[in-house]
Amino acid sequence: MGSHRTICAWCGREVKENSAVYGLGAKARSQDLIEGKDGTFLPFHLVLAGKTVYGAVVASDSDAKRQGWDFAFMACSGRCDRALEKALQEELDIAAMMLN
């Protein structure tokens, strides 16, 4: 089995094997955006935070999908998890204001 690296979506640090990780889910605006992309990582450009984070498109038969999520983000700590969640919410809030 090949090795792989797990990277925190917020700070970009490598998550050490057997370390605790934090997860955050998100919904897609449209299923058309993610159709056929299960398991791939897509960039999310967070203008207000000045950074790009990557989220995985969850598999259609996964627990995350059954819970209603389309994307999964992994964070290395509670602090990174909270920062990522706040930044994503701020972007959504701004987008919602612009649409109204």
**8 and 67 in contact (C-beta within 8 Å)?**
no
What are 70-80's pLDDT values in tens digits?
Answer: 999 999 999 99
Give me the mean pLDDT over the 49-63 stretch.
94
Q: pLDDT value at position 42?
A: 92
Give the pairing of strands 22-26 and 41-46: unpaired
Q: What is the DSSP letter of 54?
A: E
How confident is the model at residue 98, as a pLDDT?
A: 77
pLDDT tens per residue, range 22-33: 999 999 888 898
**Is the pLDDT reported for residue 1 higher than 70?**
no
Q: Supply the pLDDT for residue 4.
A: 55
Q: Which two tokens stand for residue 20?
A: 């605790």
